[in-house]
Amino acid sequence: MTRDTNHPHPHQIGVTLLELLVALAITAAITVAVTATASSAVRSLDTSLRFDEELENRHVLQYLRTQISLAFPYSEEVRNLQAVVRFGGHPDELDFVAYSEGKHEQPGLYLIRLFKEEDALVMERRPFNKNNVATRRKLIENVSGLQFSYYGNDIDRGSVGEWVDAAALPYLVRIKIERTNHSRDMVLIAPIHMQHAPG
């Protein structure tokens, strides 16, 4: 009796080495394609989130610039026969009075304080009426350092680290915001429109 070699013996059913290598190559190609797609999606999402954060930070910086520019030279005390404006410019925080036109709040004067709390730049706002409660808002997260410097009318003389007990507001306020999350440090320069009280 002759044996048919084209048909496997019922006990020899299995996968040849060539078939196994082809299956492994297809699996590897699919794995590489899925990994590349997932990696690209993660990078795209990360870029999108960083872009959104940068855009939000630009809006916050513009908001800060506007608030500081509206600083009002309110003087409530006299020292050595000279009126002193209410402006506490320190190296690590800033207190000032600003006028609000009332777009999102009651119009009038507000006491504003900018400072670092934990890892955030915080703004505290309180209507000038001392009976009202202050509101706090975190403006920028992941802040490792905050530095204020102040320039008088003669900018060529450079900045000073403090601006307190002065007869007028500074001409410019510079804020350097150092970041903790590998983001670039941010610098804001805000001109103050009114250095002396009107009239």
What are the tens digits of pLDDT across the range 87-102? 889 999 999 998 887 7
Q: Give percent of the chain above pLDDT 70.
A: 83
pLDDT tens figures, 126-135: 888 767 788 8
The pTM of this model reads 0.70
Question: Which among 16, 165, 8, 19 has a CA at the least distance from the CA of 82?
Answer: 165
28 C-beta neighbours (distance < 10 Å), count = 10
pLDDT per position as a tens digit, 146-183: 999 999 888 778 889 999 888 889 999 999 999 887 67
Give the closest residue to 109 by CA, choosing from 142, 75, 137, 74.
Answer: 74
pLDDT for 81 equals 54
Beta pairing partners, 110: 98, 127
Torsion of CA 122, 128, 133, 135, to 10 degrees: -20
- Written in H, E and C, the secondary structure of 77-128 is EEECCEEEECEEECCCEEEEEEEECCCCCCCEEEEEEEEEECCEEEEEEEEC
